[in-house]
Structure 1
């Protein structure tokens, strides 16, 4: 059943879940697309295996089937449920990530990640610790060997620079700094990266993220603050 079929068989007017969901489908799709793109970049899934459009449609259908008759006052509840359902589906798809969140206490996972973020290292795909300054050596070696430097999608790169208060002129001046930004992002601990994605691509507030992920608001705020410091400590922040 596609969106049009669902819409035609559900309640009409402003009490229709489909009308409410339309207000933030674009943000939901951007969030899903970014997590899938990251999984491809990390080698977790093959390119083209999953579509952000299909995933967003599945979330849309699941939530609106279960929501029943709703009104404008339910907009916030529907929004949270849409992102929560998207997270569940994405975690099912990306079930070979380095940190599996299935069956674990998210708060405990996050506390372990916060300790890791306070170190002056990042972690590569093989789980090895890499000092920040060595990221440039890695990108230099890739460049010398003719390998393509791994960079983020430009629109998302812009969002990260703004959200994390990074020095745009430094990053734009040299693709090595863009590579460093991409490496730091892709090697973030799994849950911390999800919270950052919900904030940037999903456009959610700290309070909304906490509700989607069943966390305390202060845990989310502290994580995003530490992620920002993590990028600044790597030489990408404003001086």
Structure 2
């Protein structure tokens, strides 16, 4: 995951300077072709947001396509590139704009209190049934991007290290690593994330999947740093508790 994030940062730096140059020359076609190189990451982010909305019953399948949101970025970046001073600002700008477009179109989900209030009582068959239903209902519908065949569109970007961060917690992560493969870890994390409300889930995804700092997320989400840190901490706790209850302390 770290390699993918670093690759994106490098591509973003190269793309930014070329975008500035193409804009100055008025070369719109080359500008759009260059911007296309950094859109797989944004497309994946939009896909996950839409998948979550479908899985939660907040959006009908086929109602939106990721392209409905990413296509607008060609206009937004071209019109604003003169005010974007660095590649890091470009990176944040892309997420900020697409986030605004998503917020205008998606209804914010409520926190699924029933799920988390009963997390101690779920049996292994109940967990497995929830995971199966989630996979059938919403997982991965939008993850194929034929126009942008790039490894950054891979869905398995979550890891236990993003959830278990203290030394004591890492010992639990080691136990889980021995029994769970990456695909199983991904499915469980995505299942639990989709039971959170939109702000909490989005903050975790921007941090874990996109490699953005809490300061950058605060700018994207138009929130305070304290709000972002609280949401990230809450998301990690809910994920950690779910792993422990389902895979470590499950006796059913």
SS class of match (1:131): coil
Structure with the larger helix share: 2
TM-score (ref. length: structure 2):
0.62
Q: Distance in 2 between matches of 1:206 and 1:19?
A: 30
Q: What's the CA shift for 1:90?
A: 0.7
Q: 1:76 to 1:128 in 2, by over 3 A?
A: closer
Contact 2:200 2:232 in 1 (8 A): yes
Q: What's the CA shift for 1:33?
A: 0.8
Q: What's the CA shift for 1:13?
A: 8.9
Q: Which residue of 2 aligns with 1:29?
A: 43
Task: Report Cα offsets for 1:119-161 as digits up to 9, x if no partner.
Answer: xxx635xx88433432645345x48xxx944245595454254
Contact 1:59 1:82 in 2 (8 A): yes
| 2:210 aligned to which of 184, 202, 206 | 202
Contact 2:218 2:225 in 1 (8 A): yes
Q: What's the CA shift for 1:91?
A: 1.2
| 1:138 aligned to which of 126, 135, 144 | 126
Matches within 5 A, 1:1-239: 10-12=23-25, 21=35, 24-65=38-79, 67-69=80-82, 73-95=85-107, 97-99=108-110, 123-124=113-114, 129-134=117-122, 136-139=124-127, 142=129, 148-151=132-135, 153=140, 155-165=154-164, 166=173, 167-172=176-181, 180-236=188-244
Q: Distance in 2 between matches of 1:233 and 1:179?
A: 16
**Structure 1 unaligned residues grouped into runs of 5+:** 1-5, 100-112, 114-121
Q: 1:235 to 1:128 in 2, by over 3 A?
A: closer
Contact 2:158 2:189 in 1 (8 A): no
Q: What's the CA shift for 1:69?
A: 3.1
Q: What's the CA shift for 1:173?
A: 10
TM-score (ref. length: structure 1):
0.65
Superposed CA RMSD in Å reads 4.0
